[in-house]
Chains A and B, each alone.
Chain A
Amino acid sequence: MPVAGIDVGSLSTEVVILHEGKIAAAVMLPTGANSRTAANRAMEQALSQSGFTLDALENVVATGYGRVSVPFAHAKVTEITCHGRGAHFLDPEVRTVIDIGGQDSKVICLNKQGKVVDFLMNDKCAAGTGRFLEVMCQALEVGLADFSRLALITVEAVPISSMCTVFAESEVISLIADGYPREKIIRGIIASIVERTEAMAGRIGVVEKVMMTGGVAKNRGVVEALQDALGVRIALPEDPQLVGALGAALLAQDGQQGRTTMSL
């Protein structure tokens, strides 16, 4: 029987439908203002892609900050557990998952069985996350793809000293006005993201193999800078943004097979 995982994040919503151990559908949409609407739309598209109906889904697990707003979910599981499950499925050698999403950044420690044994996440401040990157792109008037491309042009960085996203945006605008090249400003922005993540990873202790998930993992500049900072190679899944939904779908599958209890 098919199962689904849905990850309702602050910026994007992803759905993965699994059938007989294979991905039958994978959808990603912007969440927008209403997470319930986004969940419904994403699921509709995924169902249409897979050819199943909602009633045909044996088990649906919701994750992400909007997990509480998914009306059709049978269980709600945090993105901590889901990213851990997804990463372990993709590569059982992974012991550390670095997930940087729209407003959260997390470092998750897994054991050999893929069980989450420890984690740390940001709180109060969302600087250094996906939304931070988006705001910086707006200030620089570049798209996310160009941001990633420009980051690889140089290794020189103009330091960004502000911690607050709003102040950092003002600082970036000032740097543009002062004539600094965009690529050097981008390297500065990346350095500030990496600094935060490196500190968090250092607190919990990085054990190889390391995988990066979440939307920010699509930015090669960030990944490379993080690799240099941590001194480890970072494995990247084919689509880092789908790992949470994939993990949720796998947990739905486990639940269907009675391997886990889904009381949360």
Chain B
Amino acid sequence: MGYGLFKKNTGIGKLKEKIVGNRNKRLLRWPFLYLLGREAVRRGLIKFPYRANAMLVEYGMEHLRKAYQRKTALVWSSAFSPTELFYALGVNHFSPEVTAAVTASFGFQEKLLKEAETNWWGRDSCSFHRCAMGGILLDYFPRPRAFCASTHLCDGGVLLFNNLAARYRLPMLLLDIPLRQDQYSLDYVVRQLKEIISALEACSGKKMQEERLEEAVACADAARRELEVVNRWRSHPLSLFGARQALAYLYLYHNGVGSPVTPKIYNTLAHELHMKINEAATTGAKPPRYRLLWLHLPPLFRGNNILAYLEEQGAKVVFEEFSHVYWGPMEPHKPLEAIARRMLAHFGYGPIERRLHVIKTMAENFAVDGVIHFSHWGCRQNSGSLKIIRDYLRREGIPLLLLDGDCADSRNNAPGQLRTRIDGFLEMLAK
């Protein structure tokens, strides 16, 4: 059966209603639910194509269980926060933006978006933030003791967190990331990290141990190394693990840096990919006809089949921008400096040349035939540099498809138009 671009999936409709219905809010906030989920995965009651996927879900369930358990202080963190600090200090963290993405992937976003819009959150704002706000207004999310946001990439996230901090009268820990990568910027970020640690200590009642911080940085560095191995296997011509398979790992990419579990999951995935590629090579598996690179995120809401549709047409998104390892080796004995360097290293922040360089590197490493840039509704950071990216890729001779839509809000997508653009692009590559 062929894929439509957008399918209404009614299979879990009733379950969805039960979970997001107000009567069952308690269920969602019940830590035991996540314990059950974790155990179901651990005991193999839920099957996954990769053992690493099971480990990832276990990690996610445990992460959410701790967040809802409220035994230790909870901090809400934005997508690019210095999560090493949370792991080192032993405070839990919860990312409403990442949770909004997960929510959309399960098809629960409609109620949350409606709640936010009813409360005057404009429909032209980012749907991840609207979704997050809806979850907050409906009291689905665990209550924090502080908010921590970095100014990386997304200004909407900072505004959301500022709003929430004022609403709950809780501390807002802002990590201001400078655009330049120099010693002054490094010192500036280190100073802020120290201030954030003090604030976290105050709100959690815990004291940061230097060795724990070094361990967390060592874990972040191990995660980097393992993810690089994963990405090398992903660049194999057979491309067994494309964006469609890798999207769930964004949860780890944003939440898990600094956790001892993260390198283990990546390591397991790398081994499994190695084995599966060897198996596939012996069975004569064929590589995809077209290899594509995806910039920004693809639509994540349940019912959209863009990546599957592409695969059905013989085109596979072999890599996505947000799985790129953007930070270099981290020195555990200089933990704050190492974290600051990671914060400053993001290619999507600062001069556009950084992003262009990374796009070219990814395009070369993954031997792509073309690039798809998805302009997520309301995301100024992502779409602002379109002309520069287009001109650059044109000079490099790399075909580019520009798609406009929304990652979380299905209403901001036009399936017919998207399909025509995708088909037209593939026809362009075919010739």
Contacts and interface: CB of A to CB of B under 8 A. Distances in A.
Q: Do A and B come from one complex?
A: yes
Interface of A: 65, 76-81, 104, 115-124, 203, 260-261, 263-264
Contacts of A104: 417, 420
B402 interface: yes
Given A123-B404, A124-B404, A264-B313, A65 B430 contact: no
Contact of A123 (B418, B424, B430, B431): B418
* Chain B residues touching A, majority SS: helix
B416 A77 contact: no
Contacts of A261: 430
Given A65-B416, A124-B417, A263 B424 contact: no
Query: Which 9 residue pairs of A and B lie closest in terms of their CB atoms, listed nearest first?
Result: A80-B424, A78-B424, A123-B417, A81-B427, A78-B423, A116-B428, A124-B414, A123-B404, A123-B414
A119 B424 contact: yes
B313 A78 contact: no
Contact of A115 (B412, B426, B431): B431
A264 B426 contact: yes
A264 B428 contact: no
Contacts of B412: 124
B292 to A, nearest CB: 15
B431 A116 contact: yes
Interface in B93-147: none
A121 B430 contact: no
Contacts of B404: 123-124
Contacts of A264: 313, 423, 426-427, 430
Nearest to A260: B431
A263 B429 CA distance: 12
Contacts of B405: 123
Interface of B: 313-314, 387, 394, 402, 404-405, 412, 414, 416-418, 420-421, 423-424, 426-428, 430-431
A48 B424 CA distance: 32
Contacts of B394: 118
B380 to A, nearest CB: 18
B114 to A, nearest CB: 20
B313 A65 contact: no
A122 B428 CA distance: 18
B316 to A, nearest CB: 15
Contact of B420 (A80, A115, A203, A263): A80
A123 to B, nearest CB: 4
A116 B427 contact: yes
B402 A78 contact: no
Contacts of A263: 314, 430
Given A117-B428, A122-B417, A123-B404, 15 more contacts: A77-B427, A78-B427, A80-B424, A80-B427, A80-B428, A118-B394, A118-B428, A119-B424, A123-B417, A124-B417, A260-B431, A264-B313, A264-B423, A264-B426, A264-B427
Nearest to B386: A203
Nearest to A113: B431
A154 B421 CA distance: 38
Contacts of A115: 428, 431
Contacts of B416: 65
A39 to B, nearest CB: 16
Contacts of B424: 78, 80-81, 116, 119, 121
A122 B403 CA distance: 10
The winner among B402, B412, B417, B426 for most chain A CB atoms within 10 A is B417
A78 B360 CA distance: 29
Nearest to A115: B431
Contacts of A65: 416, 420
A85 to B, nearest CB: 10
A73 to B, nearest CB: 14
A78 B421 CA distance: 8
A116 B416 CA distance: 20
Contact of A121 (B313, B314, B417, B428): B417
Contacts of A123: 404-405, 414, 417-418, 421
Residue from A121, A261, A264 having most chain B Cβ neighbours under 10 A: A264
Query: Which of B313, B387, B394, B430 counts the most A-chain CB atoms under 10 A from its CB?
Result: B430
A116 B399 CA distance: 11
A121 B420 contact: yes
A121 B426 contact: no
A65 B405 CA distance: 19
Contacts of A76: 423
17 contacts: A76-B423, A77-B423, A78-B423, A78-B424, A80-B420, A80-B424, A104-B417, A115-B431, A117-B428, A118-B428, A123-B404, A123-B414, A123-B417, A123-B418, A261-B430, A264-B426, A264-B427
